[in-house]
Amino acid sequence: MSNRWLAYQRERFPVLTHGALIATFSLASVSFSSLSRGGTELPKPLTVLAAFVTSFLFFLQLRIADEFKDYDEDARYRPYRAVPRGLVTLRELKTIGITGALIQLGLSLWLDASLVLLLVPVWLYMGLMSKEFFVRDWLKAHAFTYMWSHMLIIPLILLYTTACDWLTAGASPPGGLIWFLAVGFFNGIVIEIGRKIRAPEDEEHGVETYSVLWGRKRAVLAWLGASGLTAAAALLAANPIGMSFSLACLVGLLLSAEAVIAWRFLTQPMGQRAKLFEPMSALGTLLLYLGLGAVPLLWQA
């Protein structure tokens, strides 16, 4: 039993890798909110822990929802994946998802009952995503709309995690929050495109990567464009907390590194070069969130 769940998480939801990113995501949310309100003290550990556990379960539930949503397609084109090959069952995953929702509800009520008002919209939107907004075929035919409509879940999660600070403090949403949410939205697109750019020899029949749907050049340019929009939103979010110069230096380095990766892949679309898009997207995510929350708060404290 334990071995198959270890195998599942390794293949479909690497706990350590995802956990590190989600922990940074959660700490940055609470820290950014505190900084925006003029706070100089480190956030309470229990507040950060509640934000982290709830966020972690949100992303796990998104993975579980995808297993349900993509089951037929996976069984047809990717039978090697965990659920189609019988490693775990959809019923087991459903139980985990519901248990996670009960934990999220309990944490929200414990931290501040008002958080439930922001928890429920995330669940509702996640439910709509799992049903492809009841227009599955139309969305499948419009890849760009499919992508951005699904990425809207990230700002909703960020709104909840930042509220673990400002709402529990009895404050209004802080200045600059809209730009912080925009960072989450555009950065989600960066990660989504980055993990679906492949070299020609790595493409699979029936698997709709962006390098197939849009062509390699357009997919890479879209990745760079989303990175640029993420950088712009990050700079706007950094202004209210006095981190504009530091963030400008950081995004300059990140965009330069991403441009090199893009250029090398376009000149020689090899598998090893294509595999750099996803870790670069994750690294950029990690550094941006650290720069917008945890690092400046630690510096001031």
Instruction: Tell me the pTM.
Output: 0.93
Tokens coding 53: 């556990």
Residues 37-56 have a mean pLDDT of 88
Q: Max CA-CA distance within the chain?
A: 55
Element (H or E) spanning 187, and its range?
Answer: helix 177-194
pLDDT at 301: 56
Residues 167-179 have a mean pLDDT of 91
Model confidence pLDDT, tens digit, residues 174-209: 888 999 999 999 999 999 999 999 999 988 887 889
Q: Are 105 and 116 in contact (CB under 8 A)?
A: yes
Residue 88 has pLDDT above 80, yes or no: yes
Closest CA to 228 of 262, 195, 196: 262
Q: How far is CA 248 from CA 29, 40, 107, 154, 253, in A?
A: 20, 22, 36, 23, 9
Q: What is the DSSP string of 45-85?
A: HHHHHHHHHHHHHHHHHHHHHHHHHTHHHHHHH-TTSTTTT
Q: Where are the domains of the chain?
A: 1-32+42-167, 175-301
Tokens 């944490």 correspond to what residue?
107
**CATH code for the structural domain at 1-32+42-167:** 1.10.357.140
- The full length of the chain comes to 301
Model confidence pLDDT, tens digit, residues 250-281: 999 999 999 999 999 999 999 999 999 999 99
